[in-house]
Structure 1
Amino acid sequence: MTKILHIVASPRGDASQSTKLAEAYIEAATQADPSVTVDTLELWKEDLPEFDGDKAAAKMTFFGVGEMGATQQSAWDQIVSITSRFTDADVYVISVPMWNCGIPYKLKHYIDIITQPGLLFGFDPENGYSGLLEGRKAVVFYTAGVWAPGAAKKYGSDFHSEYLSWWLDFVGIKEISNVRFQPSLLTPDPEGDRTAALREAVGLVKKTA
Structure 2
Amino acid sequence: MSKLLHISASPRGDKSKSRALALAHIEKRVAADPTLKIDTLDLWDEPLPQFDGDWAAAKMTLFGEGEMTDDQRANWSHLTEITNRFIEADHYVFNVPMWNSGIPYRLKQYIDIITQPGMLYGFAPATGYSGLLMGKTATVIVSSAVWEPGIDPRFGQDFHARYLEWWLHKIGVKEARFIRFQPSMVTADPEAQFSAAMAQL
**Shift of residue 53, structure 1, vs aligned partner:** 1.5
Alignment correspondent of 1:22 = 22
Alignment correspondent of 1:134 = 134
CA displacement, residues 75-114 of structure 1 (integer Å, 9 cap, x when unaligned)? 1111101101100100010000000000000000000000
Identical aligned residues as a percent? 57
Alignment correspondent of 2:60 = 60
Alignment correspondent of 2:149 = 149
Alpha-carbon RMSD across the aligned residues, in angstroms, is 0.8
Query: TM-score, normalising length from structure 2?
Result: 0.98
- The 5 Å alignment of 1:81-100 reads 81-100=81-100
User: In the alignment, residue 193 of structure 1 is paired with which amino acid?
Assistant: Q
Q: Distance in 2 between matches of 1:48 and 1:92?
A: 19
Q: Distance in 2 between matches of 1:185 and 1:19?
A: 18
User: In the alignment, residue 34 of structure 2 is paired with which amino acid?
Assistant: P
Displacement over 4 Å in runs of 4+: none
**Shift of residue 134, structure 1, vs aligned partner:** 1.0
Q: Distance in 1 between matches of 2:72 and 2:124?
A: 23
1:120 aligns with 2:120: yes
Q: Distance in 2 between matches of 1:45 and 1:108?
A: 15
Query: TM-score, normalising length from structure 1?
Result: 0.94
Runs of 5+ unmatched residues, structure 2: none
Q: Which moved more, 1:170-179 or 1:190-199?
A: 190-199
CA displacement, residues 171-208 of structure 1 (integer Å, 9 cap, x when unaligned)? 0100010100101221111111111111111xxxxxxx
Q: Distance in 2 between matches of 1:66 and 1:33?
A: 48
Alignment correspondent of 1:196 = 196
Alignment correspondent of 1:163 = 163
Q: Distance in 1 between matches of 2:183 and 2:105?
A: 21
**Shift of residue 69, structure 1, vs aligned partner:** 2.4
Q: Distance in 1 between matches of 2:124 and 2:100?
A: 35
Provide the secondary structure at the position in 2 that maps to 1:41. strand
Q: Distance in 2 between matches of 1:192 and 1:143?
A: 14
Runs of 5+ unmatched residues, structure 1: 202-209
Alignment correspondent of 2:187 = 187
Q: Which moved more, 1:37-46 or 1:62-71?
A: 62-71
**Shift of residue 169, structure 1, vs aligned partner:** 0.4
Q: Distance in 2 between matches of 1:180 and 1:187?
A: 13
Alignment correspondent of 2:105 = 105
User: In the alignment, residue 3 of structure 1 is paired with which amino acid?
Assistant: K
User: In the alignment, residue 102 of structure 1 is paired with which amino acid?
Assistant: G
Q: Distance in 2 between matches of 1:190 and 1:124?
A: 46
Alignment correspondent of 1:172 = 172
User: In the alignment, residue 13 of structure 2 is paired with which amino acid?
Assistant: G
Provide the secondary structure at the position in 2 that maps to 1:44. coil
Q: Distance in 2 between matches of 1:22 and 1:70?
A: 40
User: In the alignment, residue 153 of structure 1 is paired with which amino acid?
Assistant: P
User: In the alignment, residue 80 of structure 2 is paired with which amino acid?
Assistant: V
Alignment correspondent of 1:34 = 34
Q: Distance in 1 between matches of 2:123 and 2:197?
A: 38
